């Protein structure tokens, strides 16, 4: 498997769970929600904390260190102390396998706003 892609069987990602992975030397966390599966940076944009050690509540990912929350759908910071978004990664579902690829590279909420 190329290191610029991560593949996870869908059965390993029940709704409400997270899975930390490495994608092209970046730490990412794959979040399974009732709204879909999303991949974002696993390192908080405020300081150094691994977000997979926090909590996933719906589409809100809550940092274990100072409690900032992020929307996993677009990486937006939802509250202090974090103000910068998390990078997000494209997720595809192919034949029961979740694929996260770096083919387009990470993007942020501000990148997507510029694309629109
Ligand atoms: S390190 Fe995540 S909120 Fe401070």
Q: What angle do CA 36, 85, 55 make, to 5 degrees?
A: 55
* Domains along the sequence of the chain with CATH: 5-115 (2.102.10.10)
Tell me the pTM: 0.89
- Among 29, 54, 60, 66, the mutation site with the greatest number of ligand 1 atoms within 8 A of its Cβ is 66
- Among 48, 49, 52, 78, the mutation site with the greatest number of ligand 1 atoms within 8 A of its Cβ is 49
Atom of ligand 1 nearest to the CA of 64: 2
Omega prior to 40 cis, within 30 of 0:
no
> Which are the contacts of 2, defined by CB distance < 8 A and separation ≥ 6?
none
Whether the CB-CB separation of 13 and 30 falls below 8 Å is answered with yes
Does residue 10 come out as left (phi exceeding 0), alpha (psi in the -120 to 50 range) or beta? alpha
Q: Which of 26, 24, 8, 15 has its CA nearest to residue 92?
A: 8
Say whether pLDDT at 112 is over 70: no
pLDDT band at 101 (very low <50, low <70, confident <90, very high): confident
pLDDT by residue (tens digit) across 10-62? 999 999 999 999 999 999 999 999 999 999 999 999 999 999 999 999 999 99
């Amino acid at each position: 498997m190329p290191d610029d892609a991560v593949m996870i069987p869908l059965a390993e990602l029940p709704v409400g769970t997270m899975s930390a992975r490495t994608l092209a030397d970046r730490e990412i966390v794959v979040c399974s929600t009732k709204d879909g599966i999303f991949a974002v940076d696993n390192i908080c944009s405020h300081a150094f904390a691994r977000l997979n050690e926090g909590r996933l509540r719906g589409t809100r990912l809550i940092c274990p260190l100072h409690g900032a929350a992020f929307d996993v759908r677009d990486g937006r910071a939802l509250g202090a102390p974090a103000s910068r978004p998390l990078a997000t990664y494209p997720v595809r579902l192919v034949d029961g396998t979740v694929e996260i690829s770096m083919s387009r590279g990470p993007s942020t909420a501000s990148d997507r706003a510029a694309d629109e």
